[in-house]
Structure formats: C-alpha cells, structure tokens
Structure 1
Amino acid sequence: MTRDTNILSFASTDLILEIPPTANLDRQAFSHPSSGYQAYLNQLCLSAVLPWLQEDFTPQAKVWPTTTALPSFWELVSGTAVTLDVTRFILVPTETIDLSELRVPQEWVDILTWAGDYYLGVQVDSDEGYVRVWGYCTHEQLKTKSNYDACDRTYALDAADMIADINVLTVARQICPQEPTRSNIMPLPTLPQTQAQNLITRLGNPEIITPRLAVPWELWGRLIEHGGWRQSLYERRLGLAEQRSVLQWLQSGISQVAEAIGWGRLNLELSAAGSRSIEERQPGVSLSRQLAIAGQLYELLITPQGEPDIRYWRFELRNITVGAAIPGGFKLRLLTEDLQPFPNNEDMATTAVEQLYIEVALEPGEGIVWEIEPLPENYDREILRF
C-alpha cells in the first residue's frame, strides 16, 4: 500500500490511499448494471482502505461477515463492514465531488447486527486510481445529529459535524478505547417465514432495480438481517437455482456457492480410520465444512441416517485434530428457517467431549439453520434445504 498526497492538492488532514491495480470485480455477479457499478465502487474502496486499517490499527482487521458474502450485500445496499477486534468500521464510498455531508444507508445504522462504531466517508476516484478518506463519525453522532431522509432511507450528517482529521481516530482509540460509540437500537420485529418467502419471490424480480425501497423498512430490514434470506434474495435476483439443497449436494455434488464457503463431500468409508464413533454412522457420503473457532479447527458434519423413506439427519461437530476434544461450554444448535427453537435442538458440552451432535427428522423442502457457540470465524447464517 502507498499513500501519495501529491496526486492532487488536498488539505493536510486528508488521507489519500492508492487503489491497488489488482482491485477488480465480476460485475456479472449482479442483477443489473446499477448494482454491478455499486459493487465496483465498494470493491475499489475496500481494496484501498482495508490494507490501511490492517497497517495502522491491527493486522487482524477483516471484512464482516466474510468476503464471500459481499456480493449479496452489494447487490442490495452500498457499504462494507470491517471488524477490528470488537470494533466495527463501516466504509461508505461515494464518487461525488460534493462532500458537504455523509449519507449512510439506513441498513448500516438501524439493523442491530449490522451497525458500526465508526463510519468512514470515502471518496472514490477510479480514473485517477485513488480514494480519499475525508472524515469519520460515530454511530451515536449519526443517530443524534444527522437528518433522516425517508425518500432514499439514508442518514445525512453535515460535514461540519464530522471529524476531518483521520489521525484523531487513531489517537482516540489509543487513549479512550472504552469511549461509547453506539446509540441503542431497537431490534426489528419478527418476520414470519411465509411473509419472508413472499418477499423473496417478489423482490427477487431483477426488474425491481432498488428492492431496498420497494417495501416498508421494518419488513426490508428484518428480511436482509437474516443471512440465509439475504443470500436467497440475492441468488433469486441472479436467476440461480436452489444453491443449498442437501439432497442435491449428496446426489449431484456441492454447488459452486456452497464450495466457496467451505462445504465439501466426505466418504465415510474412506475416512473411517481417522474418525471416532464410526460405528454409530452408516457407510456413505457425508457433508463436511471446516470451521475455525477460538483458534482451533473443527468440522461440522451432516450425515443422512435411517432408510430413504424414513430418513433423519445427524449434525455433528468435532475437532479436526484426531484425539482432540471439544471444550466445555461449546454449543451446537439447530433452528427453523425463521430462527425458532424446537425440542431437542441443542447439544452443549458441560465438560470436554469428543463430539456434539443433534439428530433431527425434517420434512421434504424444510429449511434448517445451524449455529455454534462460540461463534465460528466468518460466520454468516445460511439456510440448508432438505
């Protein structure tokens, strides 16, 4: 990464970052040229700002929730979240020359699980190959000092209320790391599964150019806060077939979308020598995904049980290292598609154990969401269809 303050004449407080020549994006991964260009600007912004955050703050700075999820965000709303330990930065790119205010999409302010601590205004000049980080503010400032525009669902904060010198942010985090940055946010109301599916069907029409403005805010915010529904909407807008059908994965192979986030097939007969409790499983193919949790690697397995006409499913979590255990306090949990619990949906390790597992019978076409505590790295909710 290089910083060239001689590109143009800016104030001494401006932070100018070069866009790496490798910054590129497949614009065909979006439903419309407008969303493709929105994603392009966000990619240029991220490719320049993330290395700076890693260099000046912490090498562990990373995209939230994961880089593979970014297209499903950028298809629907502009902005990118980057986490630095427990602190979240929201990058807000713009091409406009007028920097009299910062306009932040409501999603990054009013969705509880999306909101950030700090919001960076980033001017992108793709022709000159640089971005300009021109100021920042906190979530609390956005909620208390900005004007909400109901027409485009953005919070607009006057530049005079922002901090222009980005060096102040570095000092503030060092001197006052516990300073409150967020206002309280009320959780959005529950969205019934049937209503969510109707919204995905309706908004999945790519002719609706701006789906975020096509339905009331409460419905929209709750729909895309659910990682599985957000991904389903994105895939529907691209005209993709169901990407998370477990039966199709077993019969025809893992979809490209699932492979990209780490799912694979595992032949239990071939791996029997390195597995535990193999006598409890039937020979055949299992689905496997590696997860990094609290500094160690684990494996989530999904294995069909019983006969084809009376089938049930075993979800199992185990440590990848042979002989290593799952620490006490870990939880494996299954939820319905709309995140509701059901009887015997959780297994918890009260002490160190070899594996956690849940067995569940599911109706054809039923969706299930898995969760693990502590949270795996790069976790994004997904709906597995059975």
Structure 2
Amino acid sequence: MITTFATDNKIMKLDFFTSFNDEHLWLEFSDEDWEEAKMLVENNHEQSIINLLISKCFLQWLNTTYEEAEEATLDQSVEKYLPIWSLFTGVAIQINNLRLILIPQDYQNLEWFNIPQEWVDIPQFAGNYYLPVEVNLDDQWLKIAGFISHQDIKNYGSFNTYLRGYFLNKNKIEAELNLLFILEEYNGSQSLSCPTLFPLLPEKEQKIITQLKLLPNYLLRYQLPFEEWGAFIAQSKNRQLLFKTHQPLKLGDWLNNNFEQATMKGWYNLVNFADNFSIIFNPPSLAMNGLSMRQGDVNIEQFYQLKEERQMKIVAERLRSISVQSSKKNQVLALLNHFMDQCHDEDTRWTIAESIWQLEPYHRGAGLWFGKKFDLGINLSGNKFTLVIGILGKSASENSIFIKLYGEPNQILPTNLKLVILNQEGEIFQELSARHQDLILQYKFWGQKGEYFWLTITQGDNQLTESFII
C-alpha cells in the first residue's frame, strides 16, 4: 500500500512523476483500501473517506519507516472525527509530543496550500507541523508535498476571511519530509501561538444549536464570529450534537424498506397518509388523441405494440382513469410495468410510476413517496406547506428523485417562494421560483447512489434546508 505498486501502468506513471519530484513522498492506495475506509464512514461521505484514507496510508508509512514512530496514531477515534469531517477537512497524527496535521488537497491545484482556520487557531486542534496531501482518486495515489510549521503559517500565510482559511504558496513548503524529524529531534516541539477562545455558557451553546440546525453542513462554519464558532466546536459534545442534528436523510434506505430514519425526522409514507396529500396525484379528466379510456372500451393488448416513449407516456396518463376496483386493474398494472421496463426518459418513467401508484401504491414500479409538512416561520398565505419526495430505482448504481413542494390544497404559492437544489459540493443545481397562480413547484432528476444533495426553501428572509443522500 505504501511504495510498492500493483500494476505496470502505475509503476510507469509514478516513476515518471517521481523522477522529477523524488524529494516528495508518494503513496499508493488500492480499491480495497478505499472500501475499507468507506466501511468505517457513515453515509459514504467522501471528505470523511479521503481523510481516513490518507491517515491510514501515512501511518503505515511512518510505522514502516521510523522506529520512533511506532506509537503514532490518530489523536482521537474515527467516530469522534466524523463530526469534524462533516464540517471541514484535515486529520491530526500524534507521535508522542509531536502533532502533525494532514490536510487533503486537490492534486490539480499545484500552487496553493489551503488550511482551514480551525486547524490553526483553535488550541485543541492546532499542530506543530502541517502536511499538504495531494489526492488523485482516479489514479489512486497520494503525494505528501512537504511540511510547514504552525509558526510559519502565521508568519507567511495569507488569511482569507471569506473562506476562513490560511493560504500559502507552495514554495513556502519544505519538500524534504525527513527534515521534519531532524528538526524535531534537535529543536523539540515549539509552543503554539493561538488566540484565546473563552468557553461559552450552556445557554449560548443551545442558542447556537438552534440557530444552526436549519442550515446545511457546508455553511455552518461561516455563520458565527470565529471566536464563538471556535469555542463552540472545540467541545466534543457540541460537535457530536451538531453532527447528530445534521444527519442527511438516506433516501436509498426506502428502497430497502427501511423507514426508521424517515419516521424519526417527521416524514410519512404517503400510502398511510394519502388523504393528507391528495394534491400529489391528480388523475386527468380529458382523453387525449382520441384515446377512449372508458373501462369497458379499453383494449389493453393494443398498447404493447407502442414503440415511442411519448406514446407510452400519453397512455400511462390516460390509464389513471381506471378504477382501483376495475376488473382490468391487473392487466393495466402489467402494461404499465412493461412500459417502465421499456422507457428511459425520466419524465416518462415518473408518469408511469404515478399511474401505478394510483392503482397499487405498494407496487415496485410505483416508487416510494414520503411527505413532510412544515410550519417553520414560512407563511404560505397563512397556511403550512408540504414537501414530497419520491424515489425510483434507475439502475444498479443510480436512483431517480422527484421533488414536489406545494401549499395546502387549492392554495396558490406566494410568488417570493423559491426551491433551490444544491449538489454535494454546495453548488446550485436547480432553482425554482413560484410564478403567478402556481399551486406546486416540482423537479425530477437522477443521481449516483450515495451522492449528497440539499434542498433549500426560502420565502423572504425565512429559510429551511434539508439534506439527503440518494
């Protein structure tokens, strides 16, 4: 796992790099290493997996290379690190009195070393030396680009207030890692210069929890003055509580009939609460393209000849007028299931799923639908609003998602209402705004299993955010 490489291709690629950078430490990791780290991380959170992976690789190299580093270890358990990694990146290695901070970096950013402020200015987090670790997930290698002391970060680092981090040009990094241990042997660990962070009163800590609970993880560290934020997360109990209140809803669990988390978070299966969510599926009342849908006239077999998804979608919509008590119900379900197997367009597949749900909510092709009512200061013309999410299996590695937001039945949404979908990097993926006379905002998309996304609902100054894993 450390400096021996499994394939000729990797040997050639890494030899090419190291021939020009032989002062750097290069470590390889395998698929097995990645999966091992993944098993220890909740929710497949990539930042957590990467931090755990680099720490394991580096510790193995230390223990193999330096006898005096046999006692090297993480400064705390993986379980205690998960709340930290949900907020910012980095991991501390303790070697007796020496504390090293590994900070993962994008291997494509070769000019700057970015260090989150928490690792420098919180006394409980700060270290003696900081090591940038360039990570290439595609080619499965790590490069320890060198080290820099805490004092030099303070002296030479450029602090970015907006990003809350210290930035250093990589020419300030000492590339030869062996020098770190020589310096430590002769100079000893230097005292660290960190600002004083005064403990917060319990009432203040509870106020912060309340203030932050409706915001996504990636925004939390920017909401408070650093003196308050640093003092707050310096306490393990606060990190754990913040982590617990920000666990994303695992939508994929629904497809495995695991609804415990959804129920605990106030989500309800629409099968059991259909009367409360009657607006979700509105059966069409008009025939289209001359297609007669009176129950006695439907010739189901003719629709098996359809080849175009557009036609299948039209038929699926019209078949919603079939009664649940109809003698043709099972034939219709079989046809809709056939359509589902033939279609790839997201809009068509969800139309079919909704039609199946009308007839048989527990059918595998109906998808799984959960709803949650909100009244958190967002006033929709005096009424509550409801967020509904449907999930439908797409492939072995992908799921389809359908999001619907609406007010009480027959209540028009206010025109200043917005629904924003953010990807796992916190970037806006889609933004929907209520228009005049809109009753519902809705959007369909698909994603990789294990992928994160956030929904943010805003009206004026009020905001609500929910996090999910596909």
CA contact (8 A) 2:103 2:130 kept: yes
In structure 2, what is the equivalent of residue 52 of structure 1?
61
Call closer, same or farther: CA 1:134–1:154 in 2, change over 3 Å.
same
In structure 2, what is the equivalent of residue 199 of structure 1?
208
Call closer, same or farther: CA 1:66–1:28 in 2, change over 3 Å.
closer
User: For 2:248 and 2:177, how far apart are their aligned partners in 1?
Assistant: 42
Q: How does 1:72-83 map to 2 (within 5 A)?
A: 72-83=83-94
1:115 to 2:114 alignment:
no
User: For 1:113 and 1:37, how far apart are their aligned partners in 2?
Assistant: 25
- Measure how far apart 1:151 and its partner are: 0.8
Q: 2:51 aligns with which of 23, 42, 45?
A: 42
Call closer, same or farther: CA 1:208–1:116 in 2, change over 3 Å.
closer
User: For 1:218 and 1:114, how far apart are their aligned partners in 2?
Assistant: 14
In structure 1, what is the equivalent of residue 303 of structure 2?
none
The one-letter code of the counterpart of 2:96 is D
The one-letter code of the counterpart of 1:233 is L
1:3 to 2:12 alignment:
no
User: For 2:22 and 2:72, how far apart are their aligned partners in 1?
Assistant: 26
The one-letter code of the counterpart of 2:23 is T
The one-letter code of the counterpart of 1:103 is N
- Measure how far apart 1:207 and its partner are: 3.1
User: For 2:135 and 2:85, how far apart are their aligned partners in 1?
Assistant: 16
- Measure how far apart 1:232 and its partner are: 0.9
Q: 1:64 aligns with which of 72, 75, 84?
A: 75
- Measure how far apart 1:179 and its partner are: 5.5
Q: Compare 158-167 and 85-94 and name the one that shifted more.
A: 158-167
The one-letter code of the counterpart of 1:41 is I
Call closer, same or farther: CA 1:28–1:18 in 2, change over 3 Å.
closer
In structure 2, what is the equivalent of residue 126 of structure 1?
137
CA contact (8 A) 1:143 1:183 kept: no
In structure 1, what is the equivalent of residue 42 of structure 2?
29
Unmatched 5+ residue regions in structure 1?
Answer: 241-386
The one-letter code of the counterpart of 1:157 is L
**Per-residue CA distance 1:331-368 (angstroms, 9 max, x = gap):** xxxxxxxxxxxxxxxxxxxxxxxxxxxxxxxxxxxxxx
Please state which structure has a larger fraction of its residues in strand. 1
Call closer, same or farther: CA 1:162–1:68 in 2, change over 3 Å.
same
Q: Secondary structure in 1 aligned to 2:221?
A: helix
Q: 2:24 aligns with which of 14, 28, 31?
A: 14
Larger radius of gyration: 2
The one-letter code of the counterpart of 1:13 is E
The answer to which structure, 1 or 2, has the higher relative contact order (CA under 8 A, 6+ apart) is 1
User: For 1:83 and 1:179, how far apart are their aligned partners in 2?
Assistant: 12
Q: How does 1:338-349 map to 2 (within 5 A)?
A: none
1:161 to 2:169 alignment:
no
User: RMSD across aligned C-alpha pairs, in angstroms?
Assistant: 2.2
- Using the size of structure 2 for normalisation, the TM-score is 0.47
1:220 to 2:229 alignment:
yes
Call closer, same or farther: CA 1:112–1:167 in 2, change over 3 Å.
same
Q: Secondary structure in 2 aligned to 1:120?
A: strand
Unmatched 5+ residue regions in structure 2?
Answer: 5-10, 250-470
The one-letter code of the counterpart of 2:216 is E
- Measure how far apart 1:190 and its partner are: 2.5
Q: How does 1:217-366 map to 2 (within 5 A)?
A: 217-238=226-247
- Measure how far apart 1:26 and its partner are: 5.1
- Measure how far apart 1:70 and its partner are: 1.4
User: For 2:124 and 2:83, how far apart are their aligned partners in 1?
Assistant: 16
- Measure how far apart 1:159 and its partner are: 1.2
**Per-residue CA distance 1:209-258 (angstroms, 9 max, x = gap):** 32111221111111100011111111111179xxxxxxxxxxxxxxxxxx
Q: Identity across aligned pairs (percent)?
A: 26
In structure 1, what is the equivalent of residue 196 of structure 2?
187
The one-letter code of the counterpart of 2:3 is R
CA contact (8 A) 2:41 2:48 kept: no
User: For 2:41 and 2:234, how far apart are their aligned partners in 1?
Assistant: 24
CA contact (8 A) 1:46 1:91 kept: yes
In structure 1, what is the equivalent of residue 100 of structure 2?
89
Please state which structure has a larger fraction of its residues in helix. 2
1:103 to 2:114 alignment:
yes
In structure 1, what is the equivalent of residue 418 of structure 2?
none
**Per-residue CA distance 1:39-69 (angstroms, 9 max, x = gap):** 1221222221121122234111111122221
In structure 1, what is the equivalent of residue 449 of structure 2?
none
In the comparison of the two structures, how many residue pairs are matched? 234
- Measure how far apart 1:183 and its partner are: 3.5
Q: Secondary structure in 2 aligned to 1:114?
A: coil
CA contact (8 A) 1:148 1:156 kept: yes
User: For 1:207 and 1:103, how far apart are their aligned partners in 2?
Assistant: 22
- Measure how far apart 1:28 and its partner are: 7.4
- Measure how far apart 1:177 and its partner are: 4.3
CA contact (8 A) 2:105 2:114 kept: no
Q: 1:148 aligns with which of 142, 159, 166?
A: 159
- Measure how far apart 1:37 and its partner are: 2.3
User: For 2:121 and 2:41, how far apart are their aligned partners in 1?
Assistant: 30
The one-letter code of the counterpart of 1:117 is N
Q: Compare 92-101 and 205-214 and name the one that shifted more.
A: 205-214
Call closer, same or farther: CA 1:129–1:208 in 2, change over 3 Å.
closer
User: For 2:53 and 2:193, how far apart are their aligned partners in 1?
Assistant: 31
- Measure how far apart 1:95 and its partner are: 1.9
